[in-house]
Structure 1
Amino acid sequence: MNILINRPKPNQFMKYSLKILIVCFSVFWVSCSTQSLFDKAGLPDIKVDKDPLVLHNDSVRFKLRATIPAGLVTEENKYTLLPEYQYGEGALPLEEISIDESDLAGPGQAVEIIRNMAFPYMEGMDRGTLRIKGLLEEVETGKTYTTPYMTLANGIISTVNLARVGQFAPGENIPEVGAYMSYDDDFMNMAAHELDYYFPKSSAQANPSASNEAFTNELEQLVEKEAEINKIVIQGMASPDEPDYGSLTAARAQVAEQQVKTQLRKLGYTGNVENIEIELQRKEPDWLLFRHLLRTFEGIDMQERDKYFDVIYADESYEHKVEQLKEIPSYQRFSKERFAQMQLAKIMVMMAQDRRSDPEISAMANKYINGTATGDELTEAELARAATFNPGLKDKQLIYEAMLKQHGSALAYNNLGVVYLNQAHRMIKISDKNNKVNEAMRLFRMSNEIRESPQAMHNMGQAYLMWGDYGAAYLEISKANARAENNPDFQRFNEGKRGALDIIRGDYKLATLRLDKAPETATNMFNKGLAYYLAEEYGQAAIAFEESALSNMEFGYAFYGLALVAAQNNDEERLYENLAKAVQRSPYLKLRAATDLEFKDYFTKQAFIEAIK
């Protein structure tokens, strides 16, 4: 069988081969032409406005200016700048800058680019490198050509991180944080005694039943003291399964008032009952007692209990929350066994008494610390006083826990939370620290639910600071300032922390104004000097740093600040003198000084090396 094969004739074969050769040569020529053009045009001219870069607020910001050589950006080619910040063993890619023909001012011209750039600051970035490379891409073929990396800036100046907001480094003294609440002097001469008067369900009628025997007996004990009653505060309460919360609680408070007056007369109170100041407090639905009963109710597990908390903490009306609670499987049992304990009026009787001496208060407080107290040896005011005599956090914890168990007041919740914050400050394990801070935040919330206070708001902000959430911290501490409008001393204290946060937020001028109002502690004066320094007001910075040093000669940061100012003024003698004092007082500052780019002009000088030994 013959097989016929069609072969091109010699002339046809030559023409076919020539076409293939022309196509291959064209591709090769274009490729060589583009590469030649890329090589001939040279590298782009790229600069940034800061070298080293500077940390501002929570990010590093800079302006990039680039000139792309003529001929590289055309309809056929586009150009991309690829910046990155290299530090440690990795690199952070930054925003790409794409350039195409739309950026051309005219055919064949160079391209001028200006971009405001930023990237988030992370620990370890101080000694990194900002670098960039150019990428040329042929639109039709997709082939790319790159320039070598070009260094734009070396390192980051992070002086703003020196702001003191309660943190500390290894080898430094641990600062106390938080704001304790205290009784006013007027209350130190008064004993507060809490009584409960119970009512039938959904009723505000007087209830002479056995459930109020304790009320009568406790009131009798107060009368037997033969001390004058200065004031009585009464709050009506109701359980979630009782209708019309507002009207019912108001009526219960009024009935409780009449019952107190009636019983005082019957029991032989020697004072004039009508002269006693009685305050009926009307409160929004209060979930504090509900939460306490829930936590002590053993009939449900933690998962079921969380369902209740999800409802009561939701941003809904009281009525809607009650309907939601009814949907929880254990509600019927819980309401049957515990809600009767919420159907009452709470009565606080404040009696005049001779104030116990501080040594007597201190001696009796030891019963709480040793676990031998029965619960009512000291009044709440005296317990608050006793806690100030005991600087140890463990002793304070025991005293405030006793106060919380006995009174459950806003003061007890807040002050125990402050103790937890300071305990968390001293914990090494991160999970333990976070758990303690979380528990402190719960106590501050409960304190505010009883009575909103600037102290609890400030402390919530301090807790957020310990988590590194500066935005939330600033919000809470600002709320505390507004709440303390009638407490100028607290406002001054609070402004110190708010001014430090202004430094971190990058508002240096505002920080100086706030810190001008703050107490003149070593920390506040250092922060004030730092704010002036970052605002480039070096004379004012030096004054504040000197005042900080005079306030506490062991505070290394004050001398570090003076060294910063000396470096700006090229005053080497003062630079080395103050830097030596700073590093002697703080191991952290010793490590920082060796790499702090504020001192980069002095790194190789022998006197600098000697100063930081």
Structure 2
Amino acid sequence: MPESNFLEKSEVIPTKLTYDRDSIRFQIKGEIPIESVLSPKNPKIELVFRGSDSTLNLGELQLNKKVAFYDYREDFVLKYQPWMEGAVLELNFYQGRVSDEISEKKILAKGVITTPLLAKVGNVSPDEPIPNVGLFIPTGSLDKDLSRYGEFSIRFDPGSSQIKMSSANESVLDSLKKFILEFPSIASIRITGTQSPETSEGRSSKLGMDRADAVFNYLKETNLRFEDSLLNKTSRWNDWFDFRLLLRDYEKLSTQKKDQLYSVLLNGQDYETQSTQLRRISGFDQVARDLYPRLRSAKIEIMAKPLPGLDQNQSARLKEALEGSGVNSGLSQIEWAIAGEASPRLDDKEIIYSKMTELFRSALPYNNLAVVKMRQAQRTLDQRRKDLLWEESNRLLAQAARIENNPYVLHNQGQILVLQGDAWGAYKKLSDASVLTKNNDFLKYNESLRGALDIIRGDYKLATLRFQYPYSEAKDFFNKGLAFFMSKDYANASLSFEESVIAGRSFGYGYYGLALVAAVNAQDEVALIHLKRAIDASEVLYQKALIDPVFEELRATQAFFEIFR
């Protein structure tokens, strides 16, 4: 029969399907013309959601016959399933004459935007480090066994890389020494030399690196001991990142004026062009006078913790108790707990906490043994064994809950529910946990997971309020950026994604977030640069980028596929 185009006026609203609060919501509407004897007498339209290995037939659409056309309009709400992410929404047209064969097809949408599901909640992904899940209950002295993050900025005179012992610098250095004395077990040190855009600061990055070197040499002279492999020494120049950090907390500007500055800082243009544009904004001279001097600095970032473990005598008594020659050998519960947390291997922790359940009626050993089981579950590919370990963890946590209503127990129960895919049940547990304590170390972890679930649940504005703690891990900065991105606060989203990149350049997700921000702002070249870095870092992101509807327009370009070679 002659070629037809009866589906020309068919459309889906919104034009890109989007995951929202565990569902996909859209409307199909259109018209079928009645123009001649070739027009269908009994037409039929069928909607199908078709994936690579699953298909969902959404049935026939009701057609309403008018004088010159049939029209149709229908709303759909689908429970999201993972296979839908790369599926196509297809409209099939039947002439309704002799054959039941499809006479015309139209693809209405390709894929589903699932950006909220990027939130990191502890799931194990291929080619990424296994995330630690669960929180051990701390005891009095064990609070100090949690890693601590310290940040210290040394100021310099214009154009200088000599450390000047001003009162401000002396105060910073005293704080640094106290931090190291309290937390001598150093995990990492990053020294970043920066310089302001002022003419006196020079026209190369050498000054910033010289400042980093000066601080490094000072730390060595103070007999600070750390392995060279723990040090990351770098500099930043012709980069507005540090300025944006300062601008975020600058209180002398209105929100409207800050947005005006951010629109320049995030427009993707080169540094010199942005510098010129900033100077044209009224009031920027005062901002520069206030903030530029703070860029003449070197920032020291340290992750450290106290020296862990038992002394020699305590260790001997612990060994005696574990070998069965003594019931307890006089060790207190705190000493047992210190031994468990100081043990680097999960197998050793399991032995210690198992013995503790025999010796002490307390929530601590049951909870901490459950955490060991949870982390063992993270390390197995056998789903049956994983399920058994989660089941065992839940039994231990239930016993801990019978002994004590403890926020750590509730957090861990919530974390298991997250890993099992029950985000709503998990959220209730985590919410109850936050009510029971004001401990910032606990809330930092609990609220970050709760914020990630807020993103998945669609409460984006609420999610931004969860991430008000000082983070050091790339995943937390990424989740924070994702909350801002979904709230359409692209300035803060970009800043948090950049912090994620700096905290872990091999993580990949921070780059993906920056690519998302660039894509929605039509900065195609910037988006491709960040996307290339993201897919180089993660096979998961490589596969996602190929089907993510956010990059649909980019996929129409040759440049997009060049980065996948």
Give the TM-score band, short-chain normalised: 0.5 to 0.7
Distance in 2 of aligned mates of 1:369 and 1:594: 54
Out of 113, 117, 124, the position equivalent to 1:168 is: 124
Out of 382, 387, 391, the position equivalent to 1:434 is: 387
Q: Deviations over 1:484-503 (max 9, x none)?
A: 3x434423321100110011
1:508 offset after TM fit, Å? 1.5
Contact 1:495 1:518 in 2 (8 A): no
5+ long unaligned stretches in structure 1: 1-34, 189-355
Contact 1:478 1:498 in 2 (8 A): yes
Out of 450, 453, 456, the position equivalent to 2:406 is: 453
Confirm or deny that 1:177 pairs with 2:133. yes
DSSP 3-state at the match of 2:29: strand
* Aligned counterpart, 1:50: 14
Q: Deviations over 1:112-158 (max 9, x none)?
A: 443331223323333321112346779xxx99896523221122222
Distance in 1 of aligned mates of 2:493 and 2:142: 42
Paired amino acid for 1:182: P
Instruction: Select between 49-58 and 473-482 the one with higher mean Cα deviation.
Output: 49-58
Instruction: Please tell me the root mean square deviation across aligned C-alpha atoms, in Å.
Output: 3.4
* Aligned counterpart, 2:114: 158
Contact 1:414 1:444 in 2 (8 A): yes
1:68 offset after TM fit, Å? 4.3
TM-score by length of 2: 0.63
Confirm or deny that 1:119 pairs with 2:78. yes
Contact 2:336 2:352 in 1 (8 A): yes
Contact 2:94 2:104 in 1 (8 A): no
Contact 1:417 1:439 in 2 (8 A): yes
1:290-305, aligned counterparts within 5 Å? none
Confirm or deny that 1:98 pairs with 2:62. yes
Distance in 2 of aligned mates of 1:41 and 1:396: 68
CA gap of 1:173–1:41, structure 2 versus 1, over 3 A, is: closer
Distance in 1 of aligned mates of 2:34 and 2:117: 43
1:167-206, aligned counterparts within 5 Å? 167-185=123-141
Contact 1:137 1:143 in 2 (8 A): yes
Q: Deviations over 1:362-417 (max 9, x none)?
A: 45444556666543442111111111211211111111001101113111111111
Paired amino acid for 1:50: P
CA gap of 1:417–1:569, structure 2 versus 1, over 3 A, is: same
Distance in 1 of aligned mates of 2:43 and 2:69: 12
* Aligned counterpart, 1:148: 104
* Aligned counterpart, 2:519: 567
Contact 1:564 1:598 in 2 (8 A): yes
CA gap of 1:609–1:367, structure 2 versus 1, over 3 A, is: farther
Paired amino acid for 1:164: K
Q: Deviations over 1:284-324 (max 9, x none)?
A: xxxxxxxxxxxxxxxxxxxxxxxxxxxxxxxxxxxxxxxxx
Out of 126, 129, 149, the position equivalent to 2:88 is: 129
* Aligned counterpart, 1:22: none
* Aligned counterpart, 2:275: none
DSSP 3-state at the match of 1:171: coil
Contact 1:41 1:70 in 2 (8 A): no
1:8-407, aligned counterparts within 5 Å? 42-43=6-7, 45-69=9-33, 81-94=45-58, 96-99=60-63, 108=67, 110=69, 112-134=71-93, 147-185=103-141, 358=311, 360-367=313-320, 374-407=327-360
Q: Deviations over 1:261-305 (max 9, x none)?
A: xxxxxxxxxxxxxxxxxxxxxxxxxxxxxxxxxxxxxxxxxxxxx
CA gap of 1:146–1:533, structure 2 versus 1, over 3 A, is: same
Distance in 1 of aligned mates of 2:313 and 2:546: 54
Distance in 2 of aligned mates of 1:110 and 1:605: 37
Identity within the alignment, %:
33
Distance in 2 of aligned mates of 1:169 and 1:111: 48
DSSP 3-state at the match of 2:18: strand
In terms of Rg, which structure is larger? Answer: 1
1:428 offset after TM fit, Å? 1.1
5+ long unaligned stretches in structure 2: 145-308
Contact 1:86 1:128 in 2 (8 A): yes
DSSP 3-state at the match of 2:121: coil
CA gap of 1:363–1:171, structure 2 versus 1, over 3 A, is: farther
Paired amino acid for 1:543: L
Contact 2:17 2:24 in 1 (8 A): yes
DSSP 3-state at the match of 1:98: coil
DSSP 3-state at the match of 1:546: helix
CA gap of 1:378–1:187, structure 2 versus 1, over 3 A, is: farther
CA gap of 1:376–1:534, structure 2 versus 1, over 3 A, is: same
Contact 2:62 2:72 in 1 (8 A): no
Distance in 2 of aligned mates of 1:389 and 1:468: 32
Q: Deviations over 1:588-609 (max 9, x none)?
A: 2233333333333333655544
Distance in 1 of aligned mates of 2:495 and 2:537: 20
* Aligned counterpart, 1:269: none
CA gap of 1:151–1:381, structure 2 versus 1, over 3 A, is: same
Distance in 2 of aligned mates of 1:360 and 1:80: 84
Paired amino acid for 1:600: E
Out of 424, 434, 442, the position equivalent to 1:481 is: 434
* Aligned counterpart, 1:326: none
* Aligned counterpart, 2:365: 412
* Aligned counterpart, 2:448: 496
Distance in 2 of aligned mates of 1:187 and 1:526: 26
1:431 offset after TM fit, Å? 0.4
